[in-house]
């Protein structure tokens, strides 16, 4: 392979990755648990951006349940955002000859 072609491909890849990072800031997914008693929203950078808790889930005698609901909702949101990332990155990786 021509070294100049390789350098051009690397620069294209770098530009594409920068663009993808910017796009990931703008995608979000909300996960829920306990029949929507707890909802957690994360962005494409895997940062939690919001949490909503139904007052009925706040029982001072059962803090463990609330903690489990938060963890479960967070896992659900992370799975959804990872699916969105795969959908966005899949065509990019395929076009470069890499599978995702």
* pLDDT at res. 1: 62
Domain membership of residue 100 (yes or no) is no
Q: pLDDT tens for residues 8-64?
A: 777 777 777 788 888 888 899 999 999 999 999 999 989 999 999 999 999 999 999
Could you tell me if 27 and 86 are in contact, meaning their C-beta atoms sit under 8 angstroms apart?
Answer: no
Give the pLDDT of residue 5: 72
Determine the Cα angle at 15 with ends 98 and 43, to 5°: 80
* CATH number of the domain where residue 77 is located: 3.30.1310.10
Does position 100 have pLDDT exceeding 80, yes or no?
Answer: no
How many structural domains are present in the chain?
1
Supply the pLDDT for residue 82. Answer: 93
70: in domain: yes
State yes or no: pLDDT of 97 exceeds 70.
no
* pTM (predicted TM-score): 0.73
Q: Which residue range(s) make up the domain with 36? A: 3-95
Please indicate, yes or no, if residue 66 is contained in any of the structural domains: yes
């Amino acid at each position: 392979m021509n070294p100049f072609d390789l350098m051009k491909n690397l620069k294209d890849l770098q530009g594409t990755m920068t663009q993808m990072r910017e796009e990931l800031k703008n995608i979000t997914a909300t996960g829920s648990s306990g029949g929507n008693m707890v909802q957690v929203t994360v962005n494409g950078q895997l940062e939690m951006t919001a949490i909503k808790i139904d007052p009925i889930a706040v029982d001072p005698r059962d803090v463990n349940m609330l903690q489990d609901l938060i963890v479960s909702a967070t896992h659900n949101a992370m799975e959804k955002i990872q699916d969105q990332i795969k959908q966005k990155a899949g065509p990019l990786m395929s076009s470069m000859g890499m599978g995702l």
